[in-house]
Amino acid sequence: GLFTYLWTSRRSLQLIICELKAVDEMNPVWEAQLLSHLKLTGKRLGFLINFNVPIIKKGIKRIIL
């Protein structure tokens, strides 16, 4: 997992958890890993991103607790 910090419009620092991959096929285990990271950190939003797709928008899956 990758922990990314993002400045919001309220000038506060927010943590976003991203699981980055470059694979032909997504594995459900990676989604479970991301869910575990979210639960452990107490965050509600994470992204599972696959860079091995022709259009990056199709490789992004948003996970919300």
**1-21: per-residue pLDDT in tens?**
565 655 556 666 677 888 889
Q: Is the pLDDT of residue 35 over 90?
A: yes
- pLDDT reported for residue 53: 96
Distance from first CA to last CA of the chain, Å, rounded? 17
Who wins on pLDDT, 60 or 16? 60
Compute the distance between CA of residue 50 and CA of residue 37 in angstroms, rounded to an integer.
18
Q: What is the mean pLDDT of residues 30-53?
A: 91
- pLDDT reported for residue 16: 81
Domain range annotation of the chain: 2-64
Rg of the chain over all Cα atoms, to the nearest angstrom: 12
